[in-house]
Amino acid sequence: MNASACDSMSLGGKTALVTGGARGIGRAICLTLARAGAFVVVNSRTAGEQAEATLQMVKEQGADGMLARFDVTDPEGVNSGVGEVLAARDAIDILVNNAGIARDSLLARMKDADWNEVLGTNLTGAFHVCRTVSKTMIRKRRGRIINVASTAGEIGNAGQANYSAAKAGLIGFTRALARELAPRNILVNAVAPGIIIGGMTQQLTEKQVEAVLDHVPLGKMGRAEDVAAAVLFLSGPMADYITGQVIRVNGGLYM
């Protein structure tokens, strides 16, 4: 990669907060942003061994970072956790809302708790973090927010009414927030992964994965790094005129 290409992807001097950054797609995003030079804040609910391991991997990329322990479903915890980050850093330049869970079940069997937990984490959690972090971005008159949605939020998926609803809501939230924050030079976009190795596909049976892959023109699952590459693009200077968009990383999955 030549010098100009490297400069166009550089995040040197930027601080990136990645929710749900301890493992899977979140970890891949943390490492990709670290390689681009960002100071990476790895968020998890527990800041346990996986989060510690991700932070160590970030440092092995030659970058620096810190852990931020808070639950995105707890608004007071979000305020406190973000406050600790801002006490250590001048700003949060990039926010990646990646925290998410799945509680799959057919609708007739779905429990209220399964619905509420998925909506609370995947949609309301992003609202909590965006509300808090956007305040500092507004003061700085700059920022990037990238929400990790899902193909399920656009085409639906049987047995995932709660997950599909949450991700569809996240896409609508992204577009509304993009309009609201554009005058303050804050860009808001979403990345919608399809079938990703190590992602929410871990919740699917082998038969379910095979059924979905029949509809993927590329005929294979994607990697967490593929999603992270899209996040990197939206975080950097080459995406300066892009907001309110959904970047689909799905191998052509459009049912």
Chain centroid to Cα 165, Å, comes to 17
Report pLDDT for 173: 98
Fold of 3-249: Rossmann fold (3.40.50)
> How large a percentage of the chain has pLDDT more than 70?
94
Cβ contacts of residue 2 below 8 Å, gap of 6+? none
Predicted TM-score (pTM) of this structure: 0.93
CB-based contacts of 116, cutoff 8 Å, min separation 6: none
pLDDT on residue 3 = 46
pLDDT of residue 163: 96
Please give the pLDDT value at position 157.
86
Residue 247 reports pLDDT greater than 50: yes
Domain layout of the chain by residue ranges: 3-249
The whole-number pLDDT of residue 202 equals 65
Range from 73-87, 130-144, 241-255 carrying the lowest mean pLDDT = 241-255
Q: Is the pLDDT of residue 42 over 50?
A: yes
Catalytic residues: 163
Between these two residues, 211 and 53, which has the higher pLDDT value? Answer: 53
pLDDT digits 0-9 by tens, 151-204 = 999 999 889 999 999 999 999 999 999 999 999 999 999 999 998 987 666 666
pLDDT in tens, 89-121: 999 999 999 999 999 999 999 999 999 999 999
Per-residue confidence (pLDDT) for residue 107, from 0 to 100: 96
